[in-house]
Amino acid sequence: MAAQTHKIKPIAYLGPEGTFSQAAVLKQFGHDVPLNGCASIDDVFMEVEAGAADFGVVPVENSTEGAINNTQDCLVESNVRIVGEVIVPIEQNLMLQHNADITKIQTIASHSQSLAQCRDWLSSNWAETAQLECASNAAAAKLASDDNTVAAIAGAVAADIYGLEIAEAQIQDQKHNSTRFLVLANSTTQSSGSDKTSILIYTENKPGALFRVLEPFEMLQVSLTKIETRPSKKEVWEYVFFIDFEGHVDDEVIQQLFTRLGHCSAEIKVLGSYPSAIA
């Protein structure tokens, strides 16, 4: 999905500058695109939906910590489409001011997901130190750049941007850690021959609902890549299924799938069909 600076509006992503979301933007679009670092995932969706950005990039799941609930909730509410996905390896680093005394660090700041990804390392090395959840890793790095009693956990690019020293590198508990990002737009994509489709399925609150949803996938031999549940926010104790599977909505077998799903679900929302990411 190559893009030229003069052809598109600034790409919205979860900012500020220095986040892994920015790294996902650069991996997908290159370094010559205009950027719009947003304060929240909700803001990214709103920028795309309002037409202020042609594309938005948001995290949707981490290989060790699971789904990003905020993104899933926005997908339920928003009308934007998923037009791509990006897989970014996640390497977390402990960083602080160059002149800071590491023995005087009182707080370790980072995004909640990053703190969770380093849970064991923090427990072994900084068990008595307060942890502070920030809106992003970059926001934590900015905080550390302003306060020599704060250390941040973030990617190496944040250390460069905010003038910090990496005291400990690759501190994530799982060394093969990665985050999947979604590319959002108000458009759709054509079949590439190697695609993935994301849908939401609302079912009636009856016994066997999940079985009836999964049966058509088995019958048509459509490969599921993810299934999760979230509260539907329509009725108390009703849930929606997030399902990713191989194939494009224009494929004949996928059209057959939707016909069969229509007989066993209350509502289907297609979030998008898009080329599968290359890790």
pLDDT in tens, 130-162: 999 998 899 999 999 999 999 999 999 899 999
Q: Do domains 11-89+177-185 and 195-275 have the same CATH topology?
A: no
* Global pTM value: 0.83
Query: pLDDT tens digits for 66-117?
Result: 888 899 999 999 999 999 999 999 899 999 999 899 999 999 999 998 999 9
Binning pLDDT at 50, 70 and 90, where does residue 3 land? very low
Q: Which residue has the higher pLDDT, 258 or 4?
A: 258
pLDDT of residue 229: 86
Contact status, residue 152 vs residue 144, Cβ threshold 8 Å:
yes
Q: How far apart are CA 258 and CA 191, in angstroms?
A: 17
Buried b (16+ CB within 10 A) or exposed e, 138-157: bbbbbbbbebbebbbbbbbb
Phi/psi of residue 164, each to 5°?
-105, 160
Binning pLDDT at 50, 70 and 90, where does residue 2 land? very low
Query: pLDDT tens digits for 153-186?
Result: 999 989 999 999 999 999 999 888 899 999 999 9
Q: How far apart are CA 54 and CA 186, in angstroms?
A: 7
Beta strands in the chain (DSSP E): 11-14, 35-38, 56-62, 66-67, 81-89, 93-97, 107-111, 130-134, 150-154, 164-168, 178-185, 195-202, 224-231, 239-246, 267-275
The arithmetic mean of pLDDT across residues 121-125, rounded, is 97
Q: How far apart are CA 6 and CA 199, in angstroms?
A: 33
Is the confidence at residue 7, as pLDDT, over 70? no
pLDDT of residue 237: 57
Q: How far apart are CA 176 and CA 91, in angstroms?
A: 9
pLDDT of residue 208: 78
CA distances from 217 to 110, 212, 236 (A): 40, 10, 28
pLDDT of residue 6: 47
Query: pLDDT tens digits for 203-261?
Result: 877 777 788 889 999 999 999 999 998 877 666 657 789 999 999 999 999 999 999 99
- Provide the CATH number for the domain formed by 93-168 in this structure: 3.40.190.10
**Tokens 């948001």 appear where?**
58
The arithmetic mean of pLDDT across residues 1-21, rounded, is 75
Fold category of 195-275 in CATH: Alpha-Beta Plaits (3.30.70)
The CATH number fitting domain 11-89+177-185, selected from 3.20.20.80, 3.40.190.10, 3.30.750.24, 3.10.20.30:
3.40.190.10
Listed by start position, the domains of the chain span: 11-89+177-185, 93-168, 195-275
pLDDT of residue 149: 97
